[in-house]
Amino acid sequence: MRASFFVPSICLAMAFGLLASEKVAGTFPGKVPATFYGKRAGMPVAVVPLPDGAIQPQAVVDANDVIHMVFFSGKPAGGDIYYVKLAADGRRLSQPVRVNSIEESALATGSVRGAQLSLGREGFIHVAWHGSKPSEGSVTDVPMWYARSADGKRFEPQRSLSGRSTGLDGGSVAADRLGHVAVVWHAMGTQPGENHRTVYIAKSSDDGATFSAEASATSAPVGACGCCGMRALFDRNGALHVLYRVATDDKRRDTAWLMIQGATARPPVRVHPWEIQSCPMSTYAVAEDGDGIIAAWETAQQIYFAFLNSKTGRVGAVSAIPGTGSRKHPSVAVNPSGERLIAWTEGTGWNRGGTASWRLTDRNGREIGASGDAGPIPVWGLVSAVALHDGSFVVFR
């Protein structure tokens, strides 16, 4: 019965209450109860708040149902990233560990530049993030930072992968089961202007021990929106998928899908149009589902989603989340039965918090449940949704 899913999710929140770290801002209370929202009893969705002072969760689940998470703590203009590991039944498997070796080198302002996390071969944990200040020896440009850990108990010293690229923003990391790691970001191209910005990539084939020099991921003249985030994912067949916002002719800021198979990059596919002259500071979400990717994004303060077919390179029907509002920062999770959860923030903006929302559908798109007010989101906050192997979902906020 669905109601049985409630117990492990409650325990997850209680485990959060036991977290403690000298460097994490705020107080970690003894217990933080999970809050459940839904249209009917038995809804397998738990909404779990982070402790005070922690924002921007990014969570993934491994094959053993262990939840791996990074989150931000400190001043938004310069703080720290922490990693923690939780069991699906709520047992705490690790203490929070600081990811960044250079103190206060992570940026949270804007909600589009926070840390992202991916799991690779033999349990390697890969984290990438936008720097808060120029690296040593540079006057103006902040780096794209990367750090990895073999066990989650300590992270190797952070490394800059951005090389000579300038004016970078966004940034994401993806890893697969064969030891490949890709860190992507967008930065200035050979000429000034957003319509000449490009997606850059640094690649590793040895679990992140070494990386290639940064290089343009695509030569397509579509530009990149200068203040928007990105999301990258390796699918089960080894193709790398990157979702980001292009910038063309000073007015087109469409959502685009870039797929890279080995050394070959397909031309970016325009997924959804948006004519807007200012940067919307948006983020993206992707999750693997069968032979493709479920993608979610913001267009004109609404959350849209579509199925991206990895084999054909085609975009399925684009749909909007029912209802209206000021919606941003989606997160997507798919459980073993093909049920899809999309979570997002309502009412958030520049230096403004809001609320968490979510919608759960079956594999055919029929709504199972939804909540438009699933708890507060702090300033610069995000949501992160994961699917557990028993079919339940957890939304961290």
The structural domains of the chain, with segments of one domain joined by +, span: 2-396
Sign of CA dihedral 292, 294, 295, 299: positive
Taking a C-beta distance cutoff of 8 angstroms, is the pair 205, 189 a contact? no
Helix or strand or coil: residue 16? helix
Residues 6+ apart with CB under 8 A from 178: 121, 238
Residue 33: per-residue pLDDT: 35
Residue 215: per-residue pLDDT: 92
Edge-first strand order for the sheet with 384-387 is: 45-48, 393-396, 384-387
- The answer to whether the pTM exceeds 0.95 is no
| End-to-end Cα spacing for the chain | 26
Residue 319: per-residue pLDDT: 96
**Mean pLDDT by groups of 10 residues along the chain of 397 residues:** 34 44 35 34 79 94 94 96 85 88 95 94 96 76 95 96 90 96 92 86 97 90 88 95 90 92 89 89 93 94 95 94 95 95 96 96 93 95 95 93
Helix or strand or coil: residue 268? coil
d(CA 322, CA 176): 34
The secondary element (H helix, E strand) that includes residue 285 is: strand 284-289
Say how many C-beta atoms besides its own lie within 10 A of residue 254's C-beta: 20
Q: Which amino acid is at 76?
A: P
Give the pair of three-digit tokens for residue 337.
């039965």
Give the pair of three-digit tokens for residue 158.
């952070």
Residue 269: per-residue pLDDT: 93
Looking from the CA of 213 toward its CB, the CA atoms found within 13 Å total 3
d(CA 264, CA 133): 33
Q: Which CA distances in Å does 120 have to 93, 158, 177, 332, 391?
A: 19, 17, 5, 20, 23
Which residue from 213, 39, 164, 62 is spatially nearest to 123, judged by alpha carbons? Answer: 62
Q: Which amino acid is at 184?
A: V
Q: Can you say how many angstroms the Cα of residue 136 is from the centroid of all Cα atoms in its chain? A: 27
Biggest alpha carbon distance in the chain?
Answer: 59
Residue 139: per-residue pLDDT: 54
**CATH architecture for the domain at 2-396:** 6 Propeller (2.120)
